[in-house]
Amino acid sequence: MNKTILILTALYGAIAIILGALGTHALKSHMTTDDLTNYKTAVFYHIIHVLAILIILAYPQLNFSTKSTIGWLFIAGITFFSGSIYLISLHLVKAKTIWFITPFGGLLFILGWLFLTYQFFKLH
């Protein structure tokens, strides 16, 4: 098992919970409805992909290389997709300066899911 992916996944899980709680309790009064909706979307995709990584790592029929590839695609997807939405929603950066990062992160998620689909298709 890839220890680095496990550690990052556990850390990203903790970060997802912290950011979700922060958004719900501390930040929502400072955010517009649209910003809060976007922020919640980032948290949702973040935590879903953390859980997906853990499930994939535990799946015995997938080899190390497959698990590693999907793990890294999802970790990068979380970083770029959710990370950019967090930054934009909190007005830490302007959307027009990093507009390309969010869809790139989404593409990484899609590639991870398609690679997983292909690997499941190959199973006997």
Predicted local confidence at residue 24, as pLDDT:
83
- The residue segments making up the domain with residue 81 are 3-122
**DSSP structural state of residue 95:** G
In angstroms, how far is the first alpha carbon of the chain from the final one?
A: 22
Predicted local confidence at residue 1, as pLDDT:
60
The number of domains in the chain is 1
Q: What is the mean pLDDT of residues 41-65?
A: 96
**Angstrom distances, CA of residue 92 to CA of 8, 86, 107:** 24, 8, 23
Q: The pTM is what? A: 0.94
Q: How far apart are CA 17 and CA 27, in angstroms?
A: 14
Contact indicator for 85, 78 with CB cutoff of 8 Å: no
Q: What is the mean pLDDT of residues 13-28?
A: 91
Check residues 61 and 124 and name the one with the higher pLDDT: 61
Q: What is the mean pLDDT of residues 4-8?
A: 95
Work out the percent of the chain whose per-residue pLDDT is above 70. Answer: 99
